[in-house]
Amino acid sequence: MKKLLFSMMVLIAAFVLMSCDEEITIELDAPTNVSLTGAVVSWDVVADAEGYRVLVNVTPHNVTGTSFDLGTLGLAPGSYTITVVATAGTAVSLPSSSVTFVVIDDTELDVPIVSGITDGVLAWAPVDTAQSYVVTVDGTDYPVSTTSFDLGALFLPEGTYSIVVTAVRGDDTSESLPAAYTVAVQLDVNTVYASVLASMNESFVPDMDETDFLDDPWAYGEYLQMSGMAMAYVNAAATSQLTSDEAIELFGMVSDMPMAVGGAENLSAVMLMVDGMMDGMDVGEQEIANILMHLLMYALEQGRAQMNEELLFFADEVTFAEDALADLMTSQAFLDLYNMFLPFVPSYYLVDFQMMFDNPEAFYDLNKAFKNIAYIASDMVYNLNL
């Protein structure tokens, strides 16, 4: 559809270029076999044609031969659609099929100049003809289309990072000189960790071990989980550049949130309550999202680890049960039981009876049958004693 529309535009342009006072007739065949060799476009001779017009997009160029050097036009870098029409007096042919001519920018791409990093925002001067940029932070690439990048949004852990900006134009690239970006933690990790841990359970303090839970060994597992969660929160708060007071206040708010919003009638009311609780706190949505992401990742990791432990436990249990069953079915007691029942089994039940003793899966049915016999026998003895 686009090709047809463009052909119609070319035809209309060709008509407009002819004298408006002259009668326009179309009596010529459209040029064929239009092709490009380098920058030279060529085509086959059209019978009765006196000349040709090469249209670069919709700009015409009159020629008398059957070729034209597009390199003489000094076209800017880009992609151009080329069509040809034949002319003879006032007669103009339909346009030929189109070919695409691409002008590549072979000028050297300038090196980006980093102007600085202010409040975590990296900025650099624009590079002429650059189509995009890539910011590389210690080997990790972040494609961008502007001339600035918020490093703070990466929530990087404490440390110093090497930053390089690369200008991109097609396959051409040019790199800036490395710039250093230092992330400093603004909170006291130990203080926030101890406060968060105590808010989870007031009896918990940092660096507790199994000896502190001799009276309640199960509580040690709870301590390890809460300690891990508290440290995950502290790390998230640190990468979000929260201060100690902000981190402690935010965790307290999150802890109180379930009770605070418990009476809300709908989601809108919940959001209003949350907004009210956040008023006055210098913590943005990105920081909260980063903290929630860290806590979610910790919870998922803990769930995965617990699932793996349970799988290993049940695998060991199954192996133990299979080994015990195999030992039982090859024991003398099992053989004696088989021999004791065998004389009383009718001939038409021998196959089923043999299967019950030979097949481990049927052993459970056999065990159930023996239990039922025991119950019946117990009832008989009880009734006899009445």
97-112 residue pLDDT tens: 999 999 887 778 899 9
Give the pLDDT band of residue 4 (cuts 50, 70, 90).
very low
Report which of residues 367 and 243 the model is more confident about. Answer: 243
Q: Give the 3-state secondary structure of residue 148.
A: strand
- Angle subtended by helix axes 360-385 and 285-329, to nearest 10: 70
Q: Which of 71-80, 213-222, 261-270 has the lowest mean pLDDT?
A: 261-270
2-103 to CATH, choices 2.40.340.10, 2.60.40.10, 2.70.98.30, 3.40.50.1370: 2.60.40.10
pLDDT average, residue stretch 358-373: 62
The domains spanning 2-103 and 114-183 adopt the same CATH topology: yes
Strand 114-118 to strand 99-103: parallel, antiparallel, or no bridges (unpaired)?
Answer: unpaired
What gap in Å lies between CA 180 and CA 142, rounded to an integer?
A: 16
| Long-range pairs of 24-27 with CB within 8 A, sequence gap ≥ 24 | 24/90, 24/91, 24/92, 25/90, 25/91, 26/91, 26/92, 26/93, 26/94, 27/88, 27/91
What gap in Å lies between CA 375 and CA 378, rounded to an integer?
A: 5
The three state secondary structure string of 112-140 is CCEEEEECCEEEECCCCCCCEEEEEECCE
**Structure confidence by residue, pLDDT tens digits, 35-52:** 999 999 999 999 999 999
Any idea which residue has 């299967």 for tokens? Answer: 355
Cβ neighbours of residue 89 closer than 8 Å, sequence gap 6 or more = 50
* % of the chain beyond a pLDDT of 70: 75
Output the pLDDT for position 3: 47
pLDDT average, residue stretch 345-353: 70
Q: Which helix (H) or strand (E) holds 275?
A: helix 267-278
pLDDT average, residue stretch 352-381: 64
pLDDT average, residue stretch 260-267: 60
Range among 261-265, 276-280, 296-300, 348-352 rated most confident = 296-300
Output the pLDDT for position 5: 44
Q: In this model, does residue 90 exceed pLDDT 70? A: yes
How far is residue 243 CA from its own chain's centroid?
A: 30
Q: In this model, does residue 157 exceed pLDDT 80? A: yes
87 neighbors 51 (Cβ within 8 angstroms):
yes
Output the pLDDT for position 379: 65
What gap in Å lies between CA 70 and CA 101, rounded to an integer?
A: 9
Output the pLDDT for position 235: 85
What are the start-end ranges of the E strands in the chain?
35-37, 40-42, 51-56, 59-63, 67-69, 78-88, 91-92, 99-103, 114-118, 121-124, 132-137, 140-144, 148-150, 159-169, 172-175, 179-183
Q: Which of 114-123, 173-182, 258-267, 345-354 has the lowest mean pLDDT?
A: 258-267
85-115 CB burial, b ≥16 within 10 A, e <16? bbbbeebbbbbbebeebebeeeeebebbebe
CA distances in angstroms from 89 to 11, 39, 52, 93, 333, listed in the order given: 16, 28, 11, 11, 116
Q: Where are the domains of the chain?
A: 2-103, 114-183, 189-305, 331-385
Report which of residues 367 and 230 the model is more confident about. Answer: 230
Output the pLDDT for position 20: 43
| Long-range pairs of 299-302 with CB within 8 A, sequence gap ≥ 24 | 299/229, 302/225, 302/228
Q: In this model, does residue 342 exceed pLDDT 70? A: yes
Give the pLDDT band of residue 298 (cuts 50, 70, 90).
confident
Model pTM score: 0.48
* Mean pLDDT of the chain, nearest integer: 80
Give the pLDDT band of residue 19 (cuts 50, 70, 90).
very low
Residue type for position 373: I
Range among 24-28, 133-137, 310-314 rated most confident = 133-137
114-183 to CATH, choices 1.10.10, 2.60.40, 2.40.160, 3.30.70: 2.60.40
Strand 132-137 to strand 179-183: parallel, antiparallel, or no bridges (unpaired)?
Answer: unpaired
Output the pLDDT for position 17: 44
What gap in Å lies between CA 261 and CA 267, rounded to an integer?
A: 10
Q: In this model, does residue 219 exceed pLDDT 90? A: no
Output the pLDDT for position 291: 76
* % of the chain beyond a pLDDT of 90: 32
Output the pLDDT for position 11: 45
Q: What is the dihedral of CA 181, 182, 183, 189, to 10 degrees?
A: 170
Output the pLDDT for position 1: 46
Output the pLDDT for position 80: 95
261: region left, alpha or beta (phi > 0 left; psi from -120 to 50 alpha):
alpha
What gap in Å lies between CA 87 and CA 89, rounded to an integer?
A: 6
What gap in Å lies between CA 126 and CA 71, rounded to an integer?
A: 29
Q: In this model, does residue 309 exceed pLDDT 50? A: yes
pLDDT average, residue stretch 324-335: 74
CA distances in angstroms from 225 to 229, 233, 301, 342, listed in the order given: 6, 12, 11, 57
Q: In this model, does residue 183 exceed pLDDT 80? A: yes
